[in-house]
């Protein structure tokens, strides 16, 4: 699993993690304070009729350590050079941003500055771990969600990507495209924290969930668990075999003493549990679990 994942990461293309849009050179010169020297350089660099620059419309969410280190692009930055090369087209940016960190020269608030900017790897395999709880599918936010530029404070590792018709989530109004940030007042910054928070909840228990949507709106839901028809399931991709491994989590119940047995050790966040703790699923390389639906849809 580890060597295979490292090999895939080494082959993954990289990105500046920014949504870019074109802007006319004349507008940047007149309204944003681009120095004359840079104007002349781009007039020579750009062909007639395509004198444009690239503007940062939105920046993806980077890992906390990169945010602390700095060098991140900001909304409104105008790209001038990447890796010392002038850029005015998308392919030029892609070609120049294939190192873990690159020198990026931008126009920011009428000042030309050079950043030691981090880049994001774009692995061919995204989601590796899913939880199905009360009919809602939970996962760490995938890259398209992070590209929107927002995660809730204090975490954001439990993102609802799908829900199922007829489930408690459906009945009580819990839908996809929200983060679950608390369970009964307990913060849930990761999938493991969420599992720990719901581990002691019995069948038919009322649960209060605090959620945050993509527009930063906070909403609280209360639902009742139904572990008879909607048990807690975990699905993890085994990188070594390409298969998806399934696990049904036990739920404490007076009528089910065996459920009080010590569960297998929890998987490290983002890592696959051992095969001993899981049951191998009959899902082959390149396929998704059968419960998968497009984001935001219910699954019947």
Confidence of residue 56 (pLDDT cuts 50, 70, 90): very high
Query: Is residue 245 within 8 Å of 278, Cβ to Cβ?
Result: yes
Closest Cα to residue 225, out of 161, 152, 135?
Answer: 135
> What are the chain's domains?
8-121 (2.30.42.10), 129-248 (2.30.42.10)
Query: At residue 226, what are phi and psi to the nearest 5 degrees?
Result: -140, 80
CB of 146 closer than 8 Å to CB of 60: yes
Task: Check pLDDT > 70 for residue 280.
Answer: no
Is 101 within 8 Å of 115 (Cβ atoms)? no
Largest CA distance in the chain: 79
- Name the residue with higher pLDDT: 254 or 243: 243
pLDDT at residue 3, rounded to an integer: 60
What is the arithmetic mean of pLDDT over 61-74? Answer: 86
Q: Hey, what's the torsion of the CAs at 77, 14, 137, 149, to 10 degrees?
A: -10
pLDDT above 70 covers a percentage of the chain that reads 80
> Minimal CA–CA distance to 153: which of 194, 71, 67, 212?
212
Cβ within 8 Å of residue 5, ≥6 positions away: 239
The yes-or-no verdict on residue 284 having pLDDT over 60 is: no
**Which pLDDT band, with edges at 50, 70 and 90, does 294 fall under?**
very low
Pairing verdict, β 206-213 and 178-183: antiparallel
Does the pLDDT at position 277 exceed 70? no
pLDDT digits (tens, 9 = 90+) for 96-142: 999 999 999 999 999 999 999 999 988 777 889 999 999 999 999 99
User: Is 70 exceeded by the pLDDT of residue 290?
Assistant: no
Instruction: Say which residue, 56 or 67, is predicted with more confidence.
Output: 56
Q: What is the DSSP letter of 256?
A: B
pLDDT tens digit string along 30-50? 989 999 999 999 999 888 778
Give how far the C-alpha of residue 300 lies from the chain's centroid of Cα atoms, to the nearest Å. 25
pLDDT in tens, 213-241: 999 999 999 999 999 999 999 999 988 88
pTM for the predicted model, two decimal places: 0.74
pLDDT in tens, 257-270: 444 444 444 444 44
- H or E stretch covering 209: strand 206-213
Helices (H) and strands (E) in the chain, counts: 8, 19
Q: What's the average model confidence in pLDDT over 241-251?
A: 84
Separation of CA 230 from chain center: 26
User: What integer pLDDT is reported at residue 251 of this predicted model?
Assistant: 64
3-state secondary structure of 79: strand
The pLDDT value given to residue 9: 59
Q: What is the mean pLDDT of the chain?
A: 83
Residue 289 has pLDDT above 60, yes or no: no
What pLDDT does 103 receive?
97
Per-residue tokens: 245: 């491994």
Strand partners for 223:
207
Determine the length of the chain.
Answer: 300
Q: What are phi and psi of 182, to 5 degrees?
A: -150, 145
């Amino acid at each position: 699993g580890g060597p295979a994942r490292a090999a895939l990461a080494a082959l993954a293309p990289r990105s500046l993690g920014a949504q870019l849009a074109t802007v006319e050179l004349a507008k940047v010169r007149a309204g944003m304070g681009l120095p004359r020297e840079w104007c002349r350089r781009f007039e020579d660099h750009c062909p007639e009729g395509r004198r444009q620059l690239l503007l940062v419309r939105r920046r993806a969410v980077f890992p906390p350590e990169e945010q602390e280190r700095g060098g991140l692009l900001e909304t409104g930055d105008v790209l001038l050079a990447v890796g010392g090369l002038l850029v005015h087209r998308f392919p030029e940016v892609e070609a120049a941003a294939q190192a873990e960190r690159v020198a990026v020269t931008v126009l920011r608030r009428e000042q030309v500055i050079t950043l030691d900017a981090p880049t994001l790897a774009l692995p061919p395999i995204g989601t590796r771990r899913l939880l199905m709880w009360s009919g809602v599918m939970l996962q760490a936010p995938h890259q398209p969600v992070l590209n929107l530029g927002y995660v809730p404070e204090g975490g954001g590792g439990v993102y609802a990507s799908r829900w199922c018709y007829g489930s408690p989530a459906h009945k009580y109004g819990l839908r996809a495209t929200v983060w679950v940030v608390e369970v009964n007042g307990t913060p849930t910054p990761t999938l493991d924290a969420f599992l720990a928070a719901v581990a002691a909840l019995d069948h038919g228990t009322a649960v209060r969930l605090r959620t945050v949507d993509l527009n930063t709106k906070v909403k609280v839901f209360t639902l009742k668990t139904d572990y008879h028809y909607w048990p807690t399931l975990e699905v993890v991709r085994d990188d070594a075999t390409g298969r998806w491994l399934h696990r049904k989590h036990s739920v404490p119940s007076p009528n089910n003493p065996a459920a009080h047995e010590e569960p297998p050790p929890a998987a490290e966040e983002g890592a696959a549990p051992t095969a001993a703790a899981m049951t191998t699923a009959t899902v082959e390389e390149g396929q998704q679990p059968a419960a998968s639906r497009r984001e935001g849809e219910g699954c019947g």
